Amino acid sequence: MKALTSNSASKRNTVYIMQLVTIFLGFVVFGISENIKGPAIPRIQLAFNLNEGQLGTLLSLNALGYLIACSFTAVLVRKWGIKAVTIISFASMVLSGVLIFLSHSYPLFASSYFLMYIGNGMLEIGLAILGARIFVKNTGMMMNLSHFFYGLSSTVAPLLATGVMSLSVLGHTLDWRGMYLVMLSLCLLPILSALRGTFPGDDLPNEDRTSFRTLMRDPALWMMVMILSFGVVSELAVGGWLVNFLEKAYAWDTVRASGLLSAFFLLFSLGRLLIGPLTDRIGFVLSLIIFSCFSAVCTFIALVGGESLAFLFAISGAGIAIIYPTVMAFIARRYPNGSDTAITFVVTLMGLGSVIGNYIIGWVIETVKGVYGSTSELGLLRGLQAGYGFIGLCAAVCSVSGIVLYVYLKRRQELI
Average the pLDDT over 215-238 and give the result. 88
pLDDT classification of 304: cutoffs 50, 70, 90: very high
Residue 112, domain member (yes or no): yes
pLDDT classification of 3: cutoffs 50, 70, 90: low
Does residue 187 surpass a pLDDT of 90?
yes
Whether residues 151 and 298 share a domain: the answer is no
Does residue 180 surpass a pLDDT of 60?
yes
First to last CA, the chain: 39
Q: Which of 142, 168, 198 is the last residue of a domain?
A: 198
pLDDT classification of 89: cutoffs 50, 70, 90: very high
Residue 203, domain member (yes or no): no
Does residue 174 surpass a pLDDT of 90?
no
In the chain, how many domains are there? Answer: 2
Whether residues 16 and 155 share a domain: the answer is yes
Whether residues 274 and 178 share a domain: the answer is no
Residue 108, domain member (yes or no): yes
Whether residues 87 and 180 share a domain: the answer is yes
Residue 122, domain member (yes or no): yes
Specify the pLDDT at position 140. 86
Residue 206, domain member (yes or no): no
pLDDT classification of 26: cutoffs 50, 70, 90: very high
Average the pLDDT over 156-181 and give the result. 86
Does residue 364 surpass a pLDDT of 60?
yes
133 with 22: CB under 8 angstroms? no
391 with 238: CB under 8 angstroms? yes
Whether residues 27 and 77 share a domain: the answer is yes
Q: Which of 154, 171, 198 is the last residue of a domain?
A: 198
Whether residues 255 and 194 share a domain: the answer is no
Tens of pLDDT, residues 33-88: 887 887 888 888 888 887 766 776 777 666 677 778 877 887 888 888 888 999 99
Whether residues 158 and 229 share a domain: the answer is no
* Mean pLDDT computed over every residue of the chain: 85
Residue 297, domain member (yes or no): yes
Tell me the whole-structure pTM to 2 decimals.
0.81
Residue 204, domain member (yes or no): no
Question: How many angstroms separate the Cα of 236 from the Cα of each of 63, 177, 229?
Answer: 13, 27, 11
> CATH number, domain at 381?
1.20.1250.20
Whether residues 39 and 179 share a domain: the answer is yes
Residues 6+ apart with CB under 8 A from 16: 134
The domain containing residue 150 runs over which residues? 9-198
Whether residues 144 and 174 share a domain: the answer is yes
Whether residues 365 and 400 share a domain: the answer is yes
Does residue 197 surpass a pLDDT of 80?
no
Burial label, 49 (beta-carbon count in 10 A; 0-12, 13-18, 19+): exposed
Residue 45, domain member (yes or no): yes
Q: Which of 169, 198, 227 is the last residue of a domain?
A: 198
Average the pLDDT over 310-327 and give the result. 92
Residues 6+ apart with CB under 8 A from 71: 348
Does residue 283 surpass a pLDDT of 60?
yes
Q: Whole-angstrom Cα distance, residue 295 to residue 264?
A: 11
Specify the pLDDT at position 228. 92
Whether residues 135 and 71 share a domain: the answer is yes
Whether residues 179 and 287 share a domain: the answer is no
Average the pLDDT over 126-147 and give the result. 86
